[in-house]
Amino acid sequence: MTAKSYNFSHALCRLPARSSVDGLRAVDTGAPDFETFVAHHNDYVALLRETGAHVTVLEPLEAFPDSVFVEDDALCLQEGAVLMRPGAPSRLGEVAEMAPHLDALYEEVVRMDGDGFIEGGDILTAEREILIGLSARTDQAGVDEFRRVVDRWGYTVRVVETPPGVLHFKTDCSLLDEETILSTKRLAASGCFDTYRVIHTADGEEACANAIRFNEFVIMPAGFPKTREALERSGYDVREVGNSEAAKLDGGMSCLSLRFSPSS
Ligand code: CIR
């Protein structure tokens, strides 16, 4: 049986724009190096393709410095796609740029058009439920509107808290399989994964919590050997990608793609 939460036939990415040097960041550790960012992005796309997935790479959008982080613009489920309403004002316009690509792939694309905010980085689609972390980017009104959409498609939504000071819920966790989550200790301590098996990021390696399970691979940022070892010991086929430049903009593995299997 294939798991719909991590077996995907498609992914959609967008090349980093040169303007990514102006992307949002919580702490300024210097601007990303554009050429290195593009090289890492190419490596990431190549890994997704290695699993046999069909990966579309969209042209860069100079008007939107954070547009490489496509995950925040939409959530793609089998039944349809939901266009988000980012809580970062500079990112709101990215969604209209994403819309035609999803319209071409899905029969049903729902636009979030209420007063609330929600970003894809706060949404963890697990096999049996969708977890959403309230954060500085995602508020209750956004969650309520989103819930009304996915209720129709039969999904259960559980609202949880993103730890203070953490950008997105998934900055601190990733789905590994139907029953297993990779999480920082600080997030798991909230109890939100008590019904799952949890693999903790190693102490000092919290920055690798944002990984992805994509078909047979667990794709994680390079440079976190203790956590990698723990994942391999648990039987996962781990692949690493350089993430130094996206990390300067608080981005990780999940942010760089929309992953899906459209039913049509
Ligand atoms: C932002 O602050 O919106 C971007 N610089 C980073 C977005 C990362 N996206 C994600 O975690 N899903």
Task: Quick: pLDDT tens for 13-66.
Answer: 999 999 999 999 999 999 999 999 999 999 999 999 999 999 999 999 999 999
Report the nearest-CA residue for atom 7 of ligand 1.
251
Say what the pLDDT of residue 262 is: 84
Say what the pLDDT of residue 224 is: 98
Say what the pLDDT of residue 20 is: 97
- Burial of 164: CB neighbours in 10 Å, binned 0-12, 13-18, 19+: exposed
DSSP state of 142: H
Query: Are the C-beta atoms of 160 and 166 separated by less than 8 Å?
Result: no
Say what the pLDDT of residue 44 is: 98
Say what the pLDDT of residue 264 is: 55
Say what the pLDDT of residue 1 is: 60
| 254 Cβ inside 6 Å of ligand 1 | yes
What's the rounded Cα separation, in Å, for the pair 179 and 263?
24
- Kindly give the distance from the C-alpha atom of residue 236 to the centroid of ligand 1, in angstroms, as a whole number: 26
DSSP calls for 152-206: HTT--EEEEEPPTT-S-GGGSEEEEETTEEEE-HHHHTTTTTTTSEEEEPPTT-G
Residue ranges, the chain, pLDDT below 50: none
| Residues with catalytic function | 168, 255
Q: Residues with Cβ < 8 Å from 116, sequence gap 6 or more?
A: 85, 139, 140, 141, 142, 143, 144, 145
| 174 Cβ inside 6 Å of ligand 1 | no
- Kindly give the distance from the C-alpha atom of residue 249 to the centroid of ligand 1, in angstroms, as a whole number: 7
User: Which ligand 1 atom sits nearest the alpha carbon of residue 171?
Assistant: 11
| 171 Cβ inside 6 Å of ligand 1 | yes
| 73 Cβ inside 6 Å of ligand 1 | no
Query: Are the C-beta atoms of 151 and 186 separated by less than 8 Å?
Result: no
E strands in the chain: 10-14, 54-58, 74-76, 81-83, 109-111, 123-125, 130-134, 157-161, 173-177, 180-183, 197-200, 212-214, 217-221, 237-241, 258-260
| 250 Cβ inside 6 Å of ligand 1 | yes
Say what the pLDDT of residue 263 is: 74
- Kindly give the distance from the C-alpha atom of residue 1 to the centroid of ligand 1, in angstroms, as a whole number: 33
Q: How many CB atoms lie within 10 A of CB 178?
A: 15
- Kindly give the distance from the C-alpha atom of residue 204 to the centroid of ligand 1, in angstroms, as a whole number: 21
